Amino acid sequence: MKQSNSLQNSEQENKSREEFPGRFKSVLKNEDYNSSFNRVETWLRNKSVQKKNTKNERNLVKMKNYFFSHKIRFAYAVIFLALVVAACNMPVTTHENVGNMITWSVDKNNSDAINKIEKLPWLKTADQVNKNGNTNNGNEGIVYTVIFQKSTEEEIASFRNDLENIGVSSLKIIPFNNDVKRPLYSAALNDFFSININAAGMSDEELQTEVQRQLKEEGVEMNIQFKTDASGKRNISIVNLKGNKSNTPKSYEINIDDKNGQEKIKLMQKNANPDLFKGKTDREIKDYVKEKNPELNLKDNDIKITHENGCVRVDVERKNVKK
Amino acid sequence: MCRNTNKFLELLKPEYNDAVNYCRALCAGWSPDEAEDVLQQALLSGLEGFASLNNTEKFRSWFFKIITRTFYSSVRRHFWKKFIPMDKIQSDIPEIYPRSELNEERLTIGSALSRLSSKERAAVLLFEIAGFSIEEIRQMQNEKSTSAVKSRLSRARKKLRRYIEEPENVNTAGSKIKHSKIPFEGSEYSGGDIKNETIKLAAELRTRK
């Protein structure tokens, strides 16, 4: 006959109790302190009466006494805090990449290369493009000088590849670095970006434009859409997130105050290992994403995997509805 | 308040001896003064919070839980005292624990207990000495599952057995100094532990002879 769980547990407990040396148990347990009970009883009664009498002492007086009796320790605490504040405000110099300049030259007679260069799609997005004639050892050429602000290392590397494939000469990439002095706490927070929007009275389109404008100012390409359904709930969906253009990963926080409450969107960008999903099946990738984000309680349908030119793109889509 | 005090003392009386024994064993390696400080704090907290105890049948487990938590606070107090100004415990409880503990066996087990972590020590004593079930200990130690308590108990027992069976490891002077607790700041160090150590050393020398 099967024993009940509680009976089994109790037997287990009894067995493990026996494992403890009995003589030590008696040593610890059998000391008789009962004779002291009367003294403790009297003491407790006195304490009880004392407590009743001192209960009405004002908290302010207590605090005052407390501060005055620990003057030196409080002084240390204040000095310590002052040092921490001073350290946080200490200006530190950080190097920031504010842009890149790419220069190259091409033979003036090489019309094929010039055509290819002119057709490069990224050339149109450059902040500044200069073309100058140049003569080198009797050869006439064109020197291109292109400036990009807020461009990532990856983008610059891909531009370089394009130009090398065309066969340009004297290709140079000059990064513009700027030394910025800012307090330590500000430097630490530099990688954190937060936008706050009061969406009360704003239409979906206005809100969408405002969010995207602020995001764009920070160099974030994010297609965020708002749609209000028949019941008045505003649905938020992030359609496309390409990340920021700076070289360092950033975290974003978007706080939207609506008439129905507040929505907080937190996004975190991390440097990913490009070989992370190499050779993995979609099933394995989905399992990995779910395992890494247990708090999101993701389902298979929430994770979309697309394969583009040998690259794996993982999108997590969750409809976050807030009334 | 007065009615509460009477009721509290009435319920305390049958549990008093076990509670005092438990507190002393919990504060193994500490001086009697320090153990009395913990007991004093626990008694006062118990008296103060007695009104919140709805079911007086659970007085025993409730009071042992208070002792255990007071002990944890005392352990933490040592650490925080270095950084934050804290009020000294005004020790005015009557003397309960004897200042000279001559029992060698008690010293051995006390020394072994003092080498356990505070949670392990509490778990093993609540189970072995106070006789609480694993489920009750789980509640007292705020654990999510009984398996955590079971493994803690098993670990503590193994350690205890090792420390008791190999007293030479425990009794080496360096080791003892390393593991013994530093008395509370401000408490009058009675010298009880030094005396105990001397007695223990003398006993060890006798066995070697």
List pLDDT tens digits, range A204-231.
788 788 777 777 776 666 677 777 777 7
Burial of A311 (0-12, 13-18, 19+ CB in 10 A): exposed
Which residue, among A245, A264, A316, A321, has the nearest Cα to A286 in the 3D structure? A316
Tens-place pLDDT, residues B61-82: 999 999 999 999 888 886 776 6
The confidence score (pLDDT) of residue A225 equals 74
The confidence score (pLDDT) of residue B176 equals 42
> Which carries the bigger pLDDT value, residue B126 or residue A8?
B126
> Which carries the bigger pLDDT value, residue A68 or residue B16?
B16
Q: Measure the CA–CA gap between A278 and A290, rounded to whole angstroms.
A: 18
Q: Which amino acid is at A309?
A: N
| A32 chain-B contacts, CB cut-off 8 A | 17
Q: Measure the CA–CA gap between B94 and A134, rounded to whole angstroms.
A: 101
Beta-bridge mates of residue A130: A145
- Asked whether residue B174 carries a pLDDT value surpassing 70, the answer given is no
Q: What are phi and psi of A138, to 5 degrees?
A: 85, -10
Q: Which two tokens stand for residue B39?
A: 């007991």
Q: Measure the CA–CA gap between B153 and B134, rounded to whole angstroms.
A: 9
The confidence score (pLDDT) of residue B109 equals 81
E strand or H helix that includes residue A323: none
DSSP structure class, residue A3? P
| A11 chain-B contacts, CB cut-off 8 A | none
Residue of A nearest to B4 (CA): A48
What are the helix (H) ranges across A36-189?
A: 37-54, 59-69, 71-89, 111-118, 121-125, 153-166, 184-189
All domains of chain A in start order, with CATH: 94-182 (3.30.70.1380), 191-271 (no CATH), 272-317 (no CATH)
The count of domains in chain B is 1
B63 touching chain A per CB within 8 A: no
CB contact under 8 A, A48 and B2: yes
Beta-bridge mates of residue A198: A257
- Asked whether B130 and B165 are in contact (CB, 8 A), the reply is no
The confidence score (pLDDT) of residue A234 equals 72
Spatial neighbors of A45 by CB under 8 A, at least 6 apart, are B5, B9
| A62 chain-B contacts, CB cut-off 8 A | none
- Asked whether residue B164 carries a pLDDT value surpassing 60, the answer given is yes
- Find the chain A residues whose C-beta atoms sit closer than 8 A to any C-beta of B: 9-10, 13, 16-17, 19-21, 23-25, 27-34, 36-37, 39-45, 47-48, 51-52, 66, 70, 73-74, 77
Give DSSP secondary structure letters for B85-135.
--PPP---SPP-S-S----HHHHHHHHHHHTS-HHHHHHHHHHHTS---HH
Q: Measure the CA–CA gap between A63 and A74, rounded to whole angstroms.
A: 13
Q: How many residues does chain A have?
A: 323
Beta-bridge mates of residue A223: A240
The confidence score (pLDDT) of residue B160 equals 85
- Asked whether A204 and A124 are in contact (CB, 8 A), the reply is no
Beta-bridge mates of residue A169: A105
Task: Provide the CA B37 distance to its chain's centre, in angstroms.
Answer: 11
Domain that residue B119 falls in: 2-208
pTM for the whole structure: 0.47
Question: Which residue carries 């003491």 as its tokens?
Answer: A43
Which residue, among A164, A162, A173, A165, has the nearest Cα to A120 in the 3D structure? A162
Q: Determine the distance in angstroms separating the CA of B178 from the nearest CA of chain A, rounded to an integer.
A: 23
The confidence score (pLDDT) of residue A245 equals 47
CB contact under 8 A, B105 and A28: no
pLDDT band at A1 (very low <50, low <70, confident <90, very high): very low
Q: What are phi and psi of B139, to 5 degrees?
A: -65, -40
B102 touching chain A per CB within 8 A: no
Mean pLDDT (chain A, rounded): 75
Pairing of strands A251-258, A192-198: parallel
> Which carries the bigger pLDDT value, residue B71 or residue A200?
B71
Q: What is the three-class DSSP state of A240?
A: strand
- Asked whether residue B188 carries a pLDDT value surpassing 60, the answer given is no
B82 touching chain A per CB within 8 A: no
Of A19, A43, A73, the CB nearest to B85: A73
Share of chain A above pLDDT 70, in %: 70
Tens-place pLDDT, residues B80-112: 766 666 666 667 788 888 877 556 777 788 888
- Asked whether B61 and B132 are in contact (CB, 8 A), the reply is yes
Q: Measure the CA–CA gap between B93 and A46, rounded to whole angstroms.
A: 11
| B106 chain-A contacts, CB cut-off 8 A | 27-28
Question: Which residue carries 């949670």 as its tokens?
Answer: B119
- What is the arithmetic mean of pLDDT over A34-47? 89
Q: What are phi and psi of B31, to 5 degrees?
A: -75, 160
pLDDT band at B177 (very low <50, low <70, confident <90, very high): very low
> Which carries the bigger pLDDT value, residue A190 or residue B109?
B109
Tens-place pLDDT, residues A273-316: 667 777 788 888 888 888 877 767 777 887 878 777 677 777 77
Instruction: Count Cβ neighbours within 10 Å for each residue of B45-78 and write b for 16 or more, e otherwise.
Output: bbbbebeebeeeeebbbbbbbbbbbbbbebbebe
